[in-house]
Structures are given as structure tokens and as C-alpha cells.
């Protein structure tokens, strides 16, 4: 994720999902703030636009994420929004955060964003539509396909998650670095 800000045109915030199995990328291009809510909405849009079709009988979604930023292991809002996503989709969400300082180990850097960057190298990013088109037209000889969409939503910053809200999350921490590795199960809605 990187913000591209232009004083006249605004900002483009690409948040990507890379599917290792199908070699497909999904990039949600936001215009407001890179928040935990934006990050989870990006995953939600990926699931309903691509993931559900590729994995129709899946009971789980596996997410590898950086340790900081909008999908930080410390973010209460990230976990709360993941709980909402798990309940909405009925899927158990497995999260593994890369340890601090190792975000470049994430396959999304080497198999998606590096190709997007090469594709738009030297081209002026003059509008959001240009950004989205360049992302969508990113391919590789290994068969990478990328879809992109504009996310026009506004995301509030500074949202505080209370201890009571945090306690409602159906989270199970792994015995190995449970702060980085955890499962969030869907809640039964009555």
C-alpha cells in the first residue's frame, strides 16, 4: 500500500490482495484514508468479486498481513472489522502477520506490486481512472491477472474500539506468537 497524493487530483491508495494459488491480484483503490476499515473492505470486495467464485466451497479465508499500518496486529479496529467480515461471509478467517521489519517477505510485494510498478513506470498518473486502468492491465508471462476497482468511500480516522467491543470478537490465538497468528470465527446470527 502506498498513497499517491496530488494536490489537485486528490489521493489514490492501492490496497492489494494477492491469491498465491490462482496467481490473481485484486487492488482496491481508495481515495480517502488508509484505515483498518478500508483494509477489511478491500478484502470484502475481493471475496465477493473474485474469491467466492474461485473458492465457492471454502470454509476459510487465509490472510497474511504486514505487522503495521491499517492491518496491524495491534489494531483493535482491524480485528473488529474482520469479525464482521467473518460473520458476514460465514468463513473462518485465519490471520498470520509477518514479524516486524519483514513486510518485504510478503509475496504481494514480489508477485503483484512489483509488476504493477513496472507497468506504470514512466507514465503520468493523471487520474484515478488511469491508475485503475494501469493496474488492470498488469500481466506477466507466468499468467498474473489483476483486477482493480475504485473505492469512493470515506473512512473515518481515530475510531476507538472499546474493551467491551474487543471482548465480542470470537478470536483464537495460536500458541506460536498468538499476537501475530490468530483465527476469527464467524458468529451465529439469530
Question: Over the stretch 151-169, which tens digit does the pLDDT of each residue have?
Answer: 999 999 999 999 999 999 9
Looking at the domain assignment, is residue 189 inside a domain?
Answer: no
Which domain covers residue 159, as residue numbers?
A: 4-184
- pTM for the model stands at 0.91
In this prediction, residues 176-184 reach a mean pLDDT of: 95
- Over 90: is that where the pLDDT of 188 sits? no
Looking at the domain assignment, is residue 102 inside a domain?
Answer: yes
pLDDT at 22: 94
Q: Which residue, chain included where needed, has cell 467480515?
A: 85
Range in 6-20, 59-73, 144-158 the model is least confident about: 6-20
Looking at the domain assignment, is residue 9 inside a domain?
Answer: yes
Looking at the domain assignment, is residue 190 inside a domain?
Answer: no
> For residues 111 and 144, what is the distance between their CA atoms, to the nearest angstrom?
8
pLDDT at 50: 96
In this prediction, residues 138-155 reach a mean pLDDT of: 96
Q: DSSP state, 105?
A: G
Q: DSSP state, 32?
A: S
pLDDT at 3: 56
pLDDT at 1: 45
**How many H-runs (helices) and E-runs (strands) does the chain carry?**
7, 8
Looking at the domain assignment, is residue 56 inside a domain?
Answer: yes
- Over 80: is that where the pLDDT of 49 sits? yes
| Burial (CB count within 10 angstroms: exposed 0-12, middle 13-18, buried 19+), residue 55 | middle
Average model confidence (pLDDT) across the chain: 92
Looking at the domain assignment, is residue 108 inside a domain?
Answer: yes
In this prediction, residues 43-47 reach a mean pLDDT of: 97
Count of domains forming the chain: 1
Q: Which residue, chain included where needed, has cell 510478503?
A: 106
Question: Between helices 36-46 and 76-89, what is the axis angle to 10°?
Answer: 20
- CA angle, residues 146, 98, 102, in degrees to nearest 5: 90
- Over 50: is that where the pLDDT of 112 sits? yes
- Over 60: is that where the pLDDT of 2 sits? no
pLDDT at 147: 97
> For residues 61 and 144, what is the distance between their CA atoms, to the nearest angstrom?
21
Residue 108: alpha-carbon gap to chain centroid? 10
pLDDT at 61: 97
- Over 50: is that where the pLDDT of 9 sits? yes
Looking at the domain assignment, is residue 27 inside a domain?
Answer: yes
Amino acid at each position: 500500500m502506498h498513497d499517491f497524493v496530488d494536490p489537485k487530483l486528490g489521493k489514490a491508495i492501492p490496497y492489494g490482495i494477492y491469491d498465491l494459488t490462482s496467481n490473481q491480484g485484486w487492488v482496491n483503490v481508495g481515495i480517502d484514508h488508509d484505515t483498518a476499515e478500508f483494509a477489511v473492505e478491500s478484502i470484502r470486495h475481493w471475496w465477493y468479486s473474485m474469491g467466492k467464485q474461485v473458492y465457492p466451497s471454502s470454509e476459510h479465508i487465509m490472510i497474511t498481513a504486514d505487522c503495521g499500518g491499517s492491518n496491524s496486529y495491534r489494531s483493535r479496529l482491524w480485528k473488529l472489522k474482520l469479525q464482521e467480515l467473518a460473520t458476514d461471509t460465514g468463513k473462518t478467517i485465519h490471520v498470520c502477520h509477518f514479524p516486524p521489519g519483514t513486510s518485504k517477505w510478503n509475496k504481494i510485494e514480489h508477485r503483484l506490486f512489483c509488476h504493477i510498478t513496472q507497468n506504470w513506470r514512466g507514465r503520468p498518473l493523471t487520474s484515478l481512472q488511469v491508475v485503475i486502468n494501469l493496474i488492470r492491465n498488469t500481466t506477466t508471462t507466468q499468467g498474473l491477472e489483476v483486477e482493480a476497482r475504485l473505492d469512493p468511500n470515506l473512512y473515518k480516522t481515530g475510531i476507538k474500539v472499546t474493551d467491551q467491543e474487543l471482548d465480542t470478537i470470537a478470536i483464537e490465538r495460536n500458541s506460536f506468537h498468538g499476537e501475530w497468528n490468530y483465527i476469527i470465527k464467524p458468529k451465529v446470527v439469530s
